[in-house]
Amino acid sequence: MTGGARVAVVTGGANGIGLACVRRLSDDGFTVVVADTDAEAGVRVTAEIPRAEFVACDVRVRQDIDRVAGTALEIGRGRLHALVNNAGQTARVRFADSDETTWRRLDVVNLHSVFSFTHACLAGLTAGRGSVVSVASVAGLVGAEDLSAYSSTKAGIIALTRSLALEHGEVIRFDAVCPGQIATRMMARVQTDDDLRTAVAAQIPAGRLGRPEEVADVVAWLLSDGAGYVNGVAIAVDGGESAGFRRLKPGVALHDHTPAR
Ligand SMILES: NC(=O)C1=CN([C@@H]2O[C@H](COP(=O)(O)OP(=O)(O)OC[C@H]3O[C@@H](n4cnc5c(N)ncnc54)[C@H](O)[C@@H]3O)[C@@H](O)[C@H]2O)C=CC1
Ligand SMILES: O=Cc1ccc(S(=O)(=O)O)cc1
């Protein structure tokens, strides 16, 4: 890169995984524009993290998105180097009990926002030969019981990522990360309920929930020159949870083993 600041935009960057990405990208020398609805946390981010600038933004609102893109392009003098589409919400509900409102909310916040933000930033990313990482989920790689609306939006993010990699691969790289169970407020119940946490940890080969910083490390790598030939991938960051079936209990196999004769 020649001259000027390297500029990144992180949506949902005021808390959780997004906040860890903002910290990490700031450490890597980026000026980071943080787009989030949480103004209280956003003000803290600006005060505490060098080169971080908060812009109040609801990712459902196109005018808000254009304001964020405008701020980033002003800082980067027309060039944008990184976009992290991270803002997301969840809804835990049986499919039979789910309703239009829930499906529309998750569709607009989780998936449509990736279209809107990427579209608003496309010219700047082209000028800056930038890269985009979108935060999907392992729930978008496999299914997830009681999370049908959520997992559908995350599968959509992965398909959109791959399609954009095909359309723009000579200039912009598009990748996705697929976190497993990460200790943020989205996972508040798992963190406060000891029995639940033990049960969840038993499903994960790593034996524990992930940390937001462990997702941010992979996001930062995907945005770096070290990943310059990586495009259109969806990387699970899940302690091995999506690798396959586990034993039900330590020492108890999933099936009886009948030795071959
Ligand atoms: N925590 C986990 O275990 C996992 C999280 N993810 C994904 O990671 C991303 C980040 O999640 P977490 O950090 O866990 O959640 P979080 O709830 O800690 O943080 C989400 C951030 O997004 C912001 N946000 C929500 N709706 C917004 C909107 N309409 N406009 C602007 N900002 C908005 C919130 O204010 C918050 O700052 C989400 O896309 C989530 O689906 C994926 C897999 C697992
Ligand atoms: O992406 C993984 C994920 C996200 C949310 C939830 S829940 O809504 O807290 O159950 C579970 C897994």
Domain 6-179+210-240, CATH among 2.40.50.1020, 3.40.50.720, 1.10.510.10, 3.20.20.105: 3.40.50.720
The reported pTM is 0.96
Return the structure tokens found at 185.
Answer: 């407020």
- pLDDT tens digits for range 171-227: 999 999 999 999 999 999 998 999 999 999 999 999 999 999 999 999 999 999 999
CA of 138 to the centre of ligand 2 (A): 10
Q: Is 72 in the pocket of ligand 1 (CB under 6 A)?
A: no
- pLDDT tens digits for range 72-83: 999 999 999 999
Give the integer Cα–Cα distance in Å for 137 and 111: 12
Residue 85's pLDDT band, with cuts at 50, 70 and 90, is: very high
Give the integer Cα–Cα distance in Å for 39 and 46: 10
CA of 186 to the centre of ligand 1 (A): 7
Ligand 1 mutation target, pool 9, 10, 11, 15, most atoms within 8 A of CB: 15
Shortest-distance atom of ligand 1 to CA 150: 41
Q: ipTM above 0.85?
A: yes
Residue 2 has pLDDT above 50, yes or no: no
Residues in contact with 137: Cβ distance below 8 Å, sequence separation at least 6, in sequence order:
144, 150, 151, 154, 178, 179
